[in-house]
Structure 1
Amino acid sequence: MSYADEVFINMCTSILENGTDTKGEKVRPIWEDTNEPAYTIKNFGVVNRYDLSKEFPALTLRPTGFKNCVDEILWIWQKKSNNIKDLNSHIWDEWADEKGSIGTAYGYQIGKKSRYKEGWFDQIDRVIYDLKNNPYSRRIMTNIYCHEDLHLMNLYPCAYSMTFNVTADKEDGGLILNSILNQRSNDILTANNWNVVQYAVLTHMLAQVCGMKVGEFVHVIADAHIYDRHVPIIKELIKREPLEAPEFWINPEIKDFYDFTVDDVKLINYKTHAQVKNIPVAV
């Protein structure tokens, strides 16, 4: 049984049974087809932990689009792009302007350079520098929730901060890369496992290019919510029987983060239940 499925089922059950219903309150999202408010049931402060050394956390209750997940994470962290023309899916189309830009968000923030004692770095290059040169630093982190640029973002970042922390393998002394993703808001049906898969892949990539093994990935969600129209879908989804987790493969030849492509990581024996179709998306 996939551990990611177990986490997902428990999280959804807790939200449905114990969550706060925002119906009737002032909310920003709307349903595109009716322009009516998109209300949610939510839990505050959800923390999920995944041991990447034991299992890759892809749902089997329904398939997660692995290649598109990887393509988007590389679009943000490797290409450092904020233009959907550099992306091979249409998930950002709703928030792009006529030129394809989503504003000063995501990849734009990763690519902004800041001055450190050692010189000028953007956020991902600084992470790689610290992991290679000062792995036990407690300051290896990123933050793309830049308040001074929020007014120029077509959507405020949901997954906004990564913190990396290195521990040692007690058996062989090798270095282990652990990571924490902080997320202000998470649409559980459409985006939860998508984000988990993305940042698990990113952790694997960084561990490999920095000569480390993977450890824990911790996902911290401030507002974990299920939209009102998604409740029946979630209830049906979590009744499904979890299958075995897939195996994760990463091209061992890649030693530079900027050499990774979507074809350098794969899920092997990824067996899932049927996809859920026609999921309404709030905007």
Structure 2
Amino acid sequence: MSVNEQQYLDLCRHVLADGEKKSDRTNTGTYSVFGAQMRFDLAEGFPLLTTKKVNIRLIVSELLWFIHGDTNIRYLLQHNNNIWNEWAFKRWVESNDYTGPDMTDFGNRSLVDAGFNTLYKEQMAIFKQRILEDDAFMAQYGDLGPVYGKQWRHWQTSRGETIDQLKDVIESLKTNPDSRRHIVTAWNPEDVPSNMALPPCHALFQFYVANGKLSCQLYQRSADIFLGVPFNIASYSLLVHLIANEVGLEVGEFIHTLGDAHIYQNHLTQVEEQLSREMYNLPEIHITEGKSLFDLTVDDITLVGYESHPPIKAPIAV
């Protein structure tokens, strides 16, 4: 039995049993607790959930997208990754350039209206094709604003300078491993209210070195437990592996600290189904040796020994 995955399942049970019923920005409604923490010993295995299938290729391509400093969804679509589409699509259908069918509240309407769902899929397919083929359209509607990659790699200062937080942390880990300043933040108070498609949920992370091992703690201000958190766990655990590989350390722990940890009210059935399933053993992650972090491609990162239950679909709140 995986101690790592059990923590996640226990968090689900805790929120279902003790969570406060709250409204939210999407008007979906949640059950929420404030302040939770999970600790994942990466020596036990790679903490990709086994009680439902989680697509590692989506996690890998998204993380490399962040690491490259990219904020446009074209790269993701080129790797068949659709997890950021809705936020970019929302910008297009709410613009004056959009002339198609009314897409208001498309996330919820597509779930309950089969006719509308067909229209939505048609418009999304048009949108994705234009992002891939039309450079001008891609530049205007594919970019999500100064989200994670921009903040990690190209933080803009008030003096007009640029800070590469990720490279600076890597250099600091190599030259001063005992520092308490190995921090990367995506929460930029100047950019949050301006042009971000979605203010950063995983807001700040800090590395820590002890006994030749690299650990990382993430503070996540808002945590969609069913859909988002499984990705966040795997993504930041992968980041620990990648950074450890870059600086010549073994992997230690990933500590996941959550602010508002919530289950959406339209995910309750899915969570109950997942909780009814037995866990499998955790897989392992393999990384191509001899390549810089910044030169890695999706083909350089492979998952070995992953056995899981089938995926469980659920609507995303946009």
TM-score by structure 2 length? 0.79
Partner of 1:4: 4
* Deviation per residue, 1:160-204 (Å, 9 max, x gap): 111001111xxxxxx211101110011111111111101111110
Q: How does 1:51-70 map to 2 (within 5 A)?
A: 51-70=41-60
Unaligned segments of structure 1, at least 5 residues: 30-36, 169-174
Deviates more, 1:223-232 or 1:102-111: 102-111
Task: Note the C-alpha offset of 1:120.
Answer: 6.8
Following TM superposition, where does structure 1 have runs of at least 4 consecutive aligned residues deviating by more than 4 angstroms? none
CA distance in 2, matches of 1:56, 1:203: 11
Partner of 1:181: 218
Q: How does 1:257-268 map to 2 (within 5 A)?
A: 257-268=293-304
Does the CA contact (< 8 Å) of 2:8 and 2:38 recur in 1?
no
* Deviation per residue, 1:125-152 (Å, 9 max, x gap): 0111101111111001011110111121
Change (3 A) 1:135 1:17: same
Task: Note the C-alpha offset of 1:106.
Answer: 1.1
Residue of 78, 83, 87 corresponding to 1:95? 87
CA distance in 1, matches of 2:153, 2:285: 28
Residue of 237, 243, 256 corresponding to 2:274? 237
Residue of 102, 105, 123 corresponding to 2:165? 123
Partner of 1:171: none
* Deviation per residue, 1:51-81 (Å, 9 max, x gap): 112221111001111011010011012x101
Q: Write the letter of the residue equivalent to 2:294.
A: Y
CA distance in 1, matches of 2:307, 2:3: 14
CA distance in 1, matches of 2:208, 2:41: 14
Task: Tell which structure's C-alpha radius of gyration is larger.
Answer: 2
CA distance in 2, matches of 1:211, 1:9: 33
For the residue of structure 1 that corresponds to 2:191, the secondary structure is helix
Does the CA contact (< 8 Å) of 2:44 and 2:282 recur in 1?
no
For the residue of structure 2 that corresponds to 1:189, the secondary structure is coil
Q: Write the letter of the residue equivalent to 1:68.
A: L
Aligned residues: CA RMSD: 1.6
Partner of 2:95: none
Unaligned segments of structure 2, at least 5 residues: 93-139
Does the CA contact (< 8 Å) of 1:52 and 1:200 recur in 2?
yes
Q: Write the letter of the residue equivalent to 2:304.
A: I
Larger helix percent: 2
Task: Note the C-alpha offset of 1:263.
Answer: 1.7
The answer to whether the aligner puts 1:209 opposite 2:246 as a matched pair is: yes
CA distance in 2, matches of 1:121, 1:229: 40
CA distance in 2, matches of 1:160, 1:73: 15
TM-score by structure 1 length? 0.88
Residue of 220, 223, 234 corresponding to 2:257? 220
Q: How does 1:31-50 map to 2 (within 5 A)?
A: 37-50=27-40
Does the CA contact (< 8 Å) of 1:4 and 1:58 recur in 2?
no
Partner of 1:271: 307
Does the CA contact (< 8 Å) of 1:47 and 1:220 recur in 2?
yes
Partner of 2:132: none
CA distance in 2, matches of 1:53, 1:271: 18
How many residues are aligned here? 261
